[in-house]
Amino acid sequence: MFRNVEVLLRAAGASLDDIVSCLVHLSDLAQFAEFNASYAKQFPGPVKPVRTTVGSDLAAGMRVEVTVVARRPGRAASAVTPAGR
């Protein structure tokens, strides 16, 4: 399920371990348990990316759409501080 994501991340010098957030669209929420089991296998460690899963009317034939946000390896984490603080 994450094959395409893995290829794109590798091209950017990252890996699945660098994913920090996933937005998942399922064409049928009855598939949630099946997807959840697959997700758990994909991210077996104790810390998993934050995830939002929603039911969506996807294009014909699509069962799952996943959007990820990944960190850039080797870069220090930074925080955005609102102006005036």
**d(Cα 13, Cα 72) in Å, to the nearest integer?**
8
**Which CATH superfamily groups domain 3-70?**
RutC-like (3.30.1330.40)
27: β partners: none
Higher pLDDT: 61 or 79? It is 61
Q: What letter does residue 58 receive in the DSSP assignment?
A: P
The rounded distance, in Å, linking the Cα atoms of 13 and 39 is 22
Give the number of other Cβ atoms within 10 Å of residue 48's Cβ: 13
Structure tokens belonging to residue 13 = 């010098």
pTM: 0.80
Greatest alpha-carbon pair distance for the chain in Å reads 50
Residue 31 confidence (pLDDT): 95
Sequence ranges of the domains in the chain: 3-70
Residue 8 has what pLDDT?
Answer: 93
